[in-house]
Structure 1
Amino acid sequence: MSDELSPEATSFEQGYEGALRPATLAEFVGQAKVRSQLSLLLNAATMQQRTPDHILLAGPPGLGKTTLSMIVATELDKPLHQTSGPAIQHAGDLAAVLSALTPGEVLFIDEIHRMARSAEEMLYLAMEDFKVDIMVGKGAGATSVPLELSPFTLVGATTRSGLLPNPLRDRFGFTAHLEFYGTDELVSVVRRAAGLLGFGLSEQGIEEIAGRSRGTPRIANRLLRRVRDFSLVHDTPGDTATVQAALALYDVDEHGLDRLDREVLRAVVERFGGGPVGLSTLAVSVGEEAETIEAVVEPFLVRTGLLTRTPRGRVATRLGWEHVGAVPPPAPGAPPALM
């Protein structure tokens, strides 16, 4: 039997992430309340033959903000223009994007909170009145030239909604707050993705991956592909044993913690007696940037009850001590443990 993939399979593998994205709200798994709200907003705009209100999607990474922006364009049957906040560092960058939009087009700006301040101020007028003022010339001879824009729908995505200035946040007609997924929802995500990949994964294997995905579909899909690769290379069935062996190889434990998560938790417990320990000290002790610890590692450890943040620093909880195989200290006022 030839090991070469068919042209269709090769094309799917090359566009793996895109191929797993749902195309419509009906196909989108999870976020039921947001889906209902978006469906009402888009249907009302279509019935009134107008451009929908601007939409802000807020939430942690990997929950489907980019996918929802694509779905908005699909449901409206309009083209989608994608860019990101870091790519818009000058008002002229934004003016070039806005002036190229066609009537009704959906503009998606990822990480919108990272736009330059001058571009944000230009966006205020564009969102409200569909026009921008462009400065022509320099110094005393500079003049402001108004530029009319085609009506468009802005979909902004942010992982740090608190960093958005109030004037910009207030100009969005609808703000959706995406929540972490439950295990049942992730089971549906993994089952759908496995079917699209043509990977025969057992129900127990699906549940095993879902339980280690940290409430995030992007992580679930990534772990699924690693398990599929392991099964292919080692010629093993897609059962629980294969899932456990594959994820053990990639240092993902039964709770979804990876190597860095465990290093941070172990450092708090073993090097600093359970805390409190400051962020910068903790980062140095594990050889990582403080921003990485704060933005990538801490949220999951806090959400799972393994770590807490206090004014004095990070403190390991009783669950955190037990997770690294250490005996937690007795609670204040508790009698000493008997030997």
Structure 2
Amino acid sequence: MSDVVSPRPQDDTELAVEGALRPQSLTEFVGQHKVRGQLQLLLDAARIQQRSSDHILLSGPPGLGKTTLAMIVAYESERPLRMSSGPAIQHAGDLAALLSSLTPGEVLFIDEIHRMARSAEEMLYLAMEDFRIDIMVGKGAGATSIPLELAPFTLVGATTRSGLLPSPLRDRFGFTAHLEYYEPSELESVIERSALVLGIDLDDTQRSEIARRSRGTPRIANRLLRRVRDWTLVHGAGREVSLAGVQAALNLYDVDAIGLDRLDRAVLDALVRRFRGGPVGLSTLAVTVGEEADTVESVVEPYLVRIGFMGRTPRGRVATPEAYVHLGLPVPADMT
């Protein structure tokens, strides 16, 4: 009878590395220069006046640093940070319990804030403006409203879909920032810093190769860097990484030269080969590749549209000449 070996808990060193990959201050944060300058002014003014900062809304695609910026706001304000998420707040009572437990000056971070329940959103209006909530006691004609005073706090909300936020909630944020995709040179700086933390040596060519495949997103850049580190460790190269090793590691995980992964290529291939470049409806395209329509729309489409491989029309999705070229296919005569 063989012994059952339980999986080891994650090593404390690995957890420390995970935390070290996140910048601790605005000066360490790479990219988003305009947003960094605006945040610095906001935090400096609050520090001079010895008050909590205005509420902050961070919007933009996933992986650009919204959570990291929320942590930096708390760190630079020298205030504690409380973290939650929209999907976890599905009742007004959930939000009331969270808000009533905050200490004076605490920073509350709510990720995916657009996914909060509507009743919780309405309670948040008064909390953000007057640091007060009304608790309903009883039901029917005998119900009464009891006001509950809250400690002053700073709300940092993050959303990937700011258009889904109701205007009354969006208007209560004192500062709204939209994070943009990173330039390759900025990603190379992110990779350089992360490589030092992970203990691997990369030259300019290797950093450029990873940055080119990272879709303008630091989270993806760090993930690909970890896979390069793993490949290097397994193949016995230690800290020394070659360009061939970087390419081999990324190719192993189906990340091509411009950052397209397996699902991206499947969608592009179906659009070009199966539907002759379109137009084709989103649901039909999703069924063809065996994915949910929401996944194709939110994960695949934005990047393909941004790099000019796909277009959206009233009749459906269409491929561009660049998509044919990338797949090594002749461009149809009516597109030239």
TM-score range, shorter chain: over 0.9
- Partners of 1:49 and 1:287 lie apart in 2 by 55
Equivalent of 2:284, from 281, 284, 287? 281
**Aligned to 1:171, what secondary structure does the other structure show?**
coil
Cα deviations by residue, 1:233-253 (Å, 9 ceiling, x for unpaired):
012331211000000100000
Could you say which residue in structure 1 is the equivalent of 2:3? none
Q: Distance in 2 between matches of 1:248 and 1:186?
A: 19
**1:176 — aligned with what?**
177
Q: CA deviation at 1:13?
A: 1.5
Q: CA deviation at 1:18?
A: 2.2
Structure 1's unaligned 5+ residue stretches are: 1-8, 335-339
Q: Please name the residue that 1:252 is paired with.
A: 255
Are the aligned partners of 2:17 and 2:197 in contact in 1 as well (CA < 8 Å)? no
TM-score, normalisation: structure 2: 0.95
Alignment of 1:30-41 (within 5 A): 30-41=31-42
Per-residue CA deviations over 1:11-62 (Å, capped at 9, x if unaligned) read: 2313443220000001000000000000000000110111111000000000
**Alpha-carbon distance in 2 for matches of 1:238, 1:308:** 38
* Counterpart for residue 112 of structure 1: 113
* Amino acid across the alignment from 1:86: P
Tell me, what secondary structure is at the counterpart of 2:333? coil
Letter in 1 for 2:251: A
Which residue is 2:72 aligned to?
71
- Counterparts of 2:48 and 2:21, CA distance in 1: 30
| Separation in 2, partners of 1:124, 1:162 | 17
Letter in 2 for 1:147: L
Residue in 2 aligned with 1:4?
none
Residue of structure 2 equivalent to 1:130: 131
Give the deviation of 1:129 after TM superposition.
Answer: 0.3
Percent same amino acid at aligned positions?
A: 72
Q: CA deviation at 1:157?
A: 0.2
1:312 aligns to what?
A: 315
Which residue in the other structure is 1:84 paired with?
85
Does the 8 Å CA contact 1:306/1:316 hold for their aligned counterparts? yes
| Deviations, residues 191-249 of structure 1 (Å, cap 9, x unaligned) | 00000111112221111001100000000000000000001001233121100000010
Match of 2:211, SS state, is: helix
Secondary structure, counterpart of 1:226 in structure 2:
helix
Question: Could you tell me whether the CA contact under 8 Å between 1:204 and 1:239 is conserved in 2?
Answer: no
Q: Is the 8 Å Cα contact of residues 194 and 224 (structure 1) preserved in structure 2?
A: yes
Tell me how far 1:10 sits from its aligned partner: 4.2
- Structure 1 counterpart SS, 2:20: helix
Shift of 1:326: 0.9
Query: Counterpart in 2 of 1:272?
Result: 275
* TM-score normalised according to structure 1 size: 0.94
Tell me what 1:262 maps to.
265
Asked if the contact 1:12–1:19 (Cα under 8 Å) also holds between the matched residues in 2, the reply is: no
- Superposition pairs for residues 286-297 of structure 1, below 5 Å? 286-297=289-300
Question: Does residue 148 of the first structure (1) align with residue 136 of the second (2)?
Answer: no
Q: Distance in 1 between matches of 2:318 and 2:18?
A: 37
Two-structure CA RMSD over aligned residues (Å): 1.2
Aligned length: 325
What pairs up with 1:202-241 in 2 under 5 angstroms?
A: 202-236=203-237, 237-241=240-244
